[in-house]
């Protein structure tokens, strides 16, 4: 029987609160920033349009190596570190079962105590098993020798030790089995609660983080083009390239799509999204 100080939910919640501690702080920080300044939310998904941001930043830096500076540089670093954190979190939370096995269970003191006791009990069991073999050998050897009183007395002592060893061996063996069952009970008792609560939290944090990153990436996109149209080298470059359109990502995508045959493209889903994005981008 499990002897738990609290309900299983308490152990799970305590662990998850600690596991998502950094994520919670980041999400709250970013949400507060967006709320404090009522920052506009984009309609397009900047996780899908990220490569256009990256390409535009790279292209403009090639045209003018001093282009990415000041606020643009600060925001670029901020947005990309958030994208990186998002990817890191995705990877770290991909398989809840692994987190459950490797991190959650090992955070439970009673579970660790059982694991430790199993190790000790198994060692004790193995020791008595070895001792039984030794005593058995010794008794056999003495039994075939001349049976004087002294030898008989010695055999009697060994048999007494053998009986004790059998007793302790049986105790250790039974305890190992009991502990094994208890360990399995622990593993089962928390699993469904853990996975359910973990997935709920994970979904919530990813949704909120996605929104916050999208807002910042949208502002990076706008700032990037605002700075581009103020940069003489970039203006000259775009003008002489006979590009028609506005200083924005929409024009960038339009020219990208012109060079792609969406029907034969390997990544139709993404290219179809770009067509939708053309409508969503203001």
Partner 1 sequence: MFTEYTEQEVRELVNAVKKPKTQIRAEHIVKDKKVDVNTIDVKSLAKQGSVRRFEENSILFREGDDGTDMYLILQGKVDVLHKDNVVASLEVGDMFGEMSLVDTMPRSATIRVSETLSALVLSRSNFNSVISTEPNIAFRVMQTLSKRIRLMNQTIFMLKNKGEEEATDILEDSDTAEGITDDF
Q: Which residues bind partner 1 (CB under 8 A)?
A: 25-26, 29, 33, 37, 39-40, 71, 74-75, 77-78, 81-82, 85, 218-219, 222-223, 225-226, 229-230, 232, 235, 238-239, 242-248, 251
Residue with tokens 């699993």: 191
Is 45 exposed, middle or buried, given 0-12, 13-18 or 19+ CB atoms closer than 10 A?
Answer: middle
With a CB cutoff of 8 Å and minimum separation 6, the contacts of 49 are 217, 221, 249, 253, 277
Contact 23, 205 (CB under 8 A): yes
Q: Which is nearer to partner 1, 121 or 249 (CB)?
A: 249
Residue 200 beta carbon to partner 1: minimum distance, rounded to whole angstroms:
24
Q: State the nearest-atom distance from the C-beta of 42 to partner 1, in Å.
A: 9
Q: How far apart are CA 46 and CA 218, in angstroms?
A: 7
Nearer to partner 1, 137 or 279 (CB): 279
- When the beta carbons of 131 and 254 are compared against partner 1, the nearer one is 254
Q: How far apart are CA 44 and CA 214, in angstroms?
A: 8
With beta carbons less than 8 A apart as the criterion, state whether 52 and 249 touch: yes
Place of tokens 């944090």: 205
The nearer residue to partner 1, 7 or 65, going by C-beta atoms, is: 65
State the minimum distance, in angstroms, from the CB of residue 101 to partner 1.
29
Of 11 and 60, which CB lies nearer to partner 1 in the complex structure?
60
- Helical pair 50-63 and 232-240, crossing angle rounded to 10 deg: 100
φ, ψ of residue 194 to 5 degrees: the values are -60, -55
CB of 160 or CB of 245, closer to partner 1 = 245
Q: How far is the CB of 78 from partner 1 (least distance, A)?
A: 4
CB of 239: closest distance to partner 1 in angstroms? 5
Minimum distance of partner 1 from residue 96's CB (angstroms): 24
d(CA 236, CA 218): 25
């Amino acid at each position: 029987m499990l002897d738990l100080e609290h309900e299983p939910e308490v152990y799970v919640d305590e662990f998850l609160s600690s596991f998502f501690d950094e994520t919670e702080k980041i999400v709250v920080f970013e949400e507060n920033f967006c709320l404090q300044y009522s920052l506009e939310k984009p309609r397009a998904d900047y996780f899908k349009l990220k490569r256009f941001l990256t390409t535009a930043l790279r292209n403009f830096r090639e045209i003018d190596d001093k282009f990415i500076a000041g606020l643009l540089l600060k925001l670029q670093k901020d947005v990309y570190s958030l994208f990186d954190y998002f990817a890191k979190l995705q990877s770290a939370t991909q398989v809840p079962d692994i987190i459950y096995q490797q991190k959650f269970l090992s955070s439970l003191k009673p579970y660790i105590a059982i694991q430790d006791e199993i190790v000790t009990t198994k060692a004790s069991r193995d020791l008595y098993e070895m001792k039984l073999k030794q005593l058995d050998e010794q008794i056999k050897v003495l039994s075939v020798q001349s049976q004087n009183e002294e030898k008989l007395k010695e055999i009697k002592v060994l048999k007494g030790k053998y009986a004790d060893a059998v007793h302790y061996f049986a105790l250790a063996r039974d305890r190992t089995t009991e502990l094994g069952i208890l360990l399995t009970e622990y593993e089962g008792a928390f699993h469904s609660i853990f996975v359910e609560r973990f997935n709920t939290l994970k979904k919530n944090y990813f949704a909120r983080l996605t929104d916050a990153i999208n807002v910042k990436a949208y502002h990076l996109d706008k700032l990037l083009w605002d700075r581009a149209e103020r940069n003489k080298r970039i203006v000259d470059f775009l003008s002489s390239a006979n590009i028609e359109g506005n200083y924005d990502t929409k024009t960038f995508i339009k020219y990208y799509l012109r060079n792609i045959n969406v029907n034969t493209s390997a990544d139709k889903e993404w290219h179809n999204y770009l067509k939708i994005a053309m409508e969503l981008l203001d």
